[in-house]
Structure 1
């Protein structure tokens, strides 16, 4: 008791006699009340399950105790018939709850169902878009972060460049050279092994041209530095240091309009602070 409040959890299961005492001008008195605290049931929901994502047939959940409880959760009926949700072969982890009520007291236990993703070829990569050069995943040196199709397993990542296997769940890998790399993941969920290939990682090299020919023949018309996937600032100077052009978001469109042929100097700096300087010749 805490004042006039009875806490059944602190009292525990059993029969408890509560006594109420009072006094007035005629003397003292007491009254008693018996309260029975029933124990909570102790259900178990049975062992966790691992299925394949393409398995969609309904199955009956077994192994839960005591009998007579009620199931709840994604894809399950109250009487324990579970239909795996359609995950479009990506898989998923689902938590089902088994609730038992005894003597007006309810308690629950959970059971996890893992739908292992189906083997997938050319699964998309979750990487930032190389906005300036969308034909590439990134430009070398390029760090790519990978994520499995489904968490909750053990992993072996092959980055396709001869580097050691990574067993991290979400590894980051540095590609130092340009090339096309096939990434493969072997993931294990309980007794289920899934091999997944991803869309190739295409890494371009950094290349800044040293000449443009803006003569309206549609070839090499503008200054297109393959420098960064990120927005970049471009400044162009004359050989005497006079600033002739500047933009905070260069769109590969500088063509030396209203400037004579000759050599000009540039300074590029992207949103990550990466910068490069050099010269470019304009020849019409």
Structure 2
């Protein structure tokens, strides 16, 4: 099927969505919006006309916002029922499976040290607060925001990104973009640096990395932001310390290792010198 056919299908479905929306049939409208958004994504992928692609993107943002509003309207009654059911459960049942006794004392201590990396308060930086960088913002919206809002669009071979690298000279807005992501994304946001990971004790750095990713998986969807990632994952050399090599190896194992389910976990790195990273 060609790009124009995808676009035509999307237009036909969006007409149905608008008609159902106008009629007050919000569940049917949400279903049509969701299907149309999926077709629009494919149309953007195959359309070679940059001006038309930009027009589709602008429309797509409007449809996504409306679908998000309808989703919130539909799920509110369900959330109220869930809250009422939760009030009838005992405190013991609420905490079942999350008791600190499930982990040993050493792991609990390591996790307590990493809890300071969790941003409990959003930085209050919106996309509109970031001047320029439109390409980067659009990429981050597609990679970070959409998978959390519409996870059903990212199934099968269409999987969300697992890692993003922000690079550029100092002062170009990398960390500010990360703050915007933390504000806009409905995810647990971990902001870490080398001081949170590197330990003077042999083997503790690898354990910290392992527990960081374990916490991110337990609280998915989650984002791990590593500022100045080159300080942790620089190029390997024969003269580098064994501890540094083991840190890089543990990062690779946690991000790409066999048996690691990283669905819903995104690693966001920032660096001024991308050419020094281990590739």
Name the TM tier (shorter chain): under 0.3
**Richer in helix (by share):** 2
**Relative contact order, higher structure (CA 8 A, sep 6+):** 2
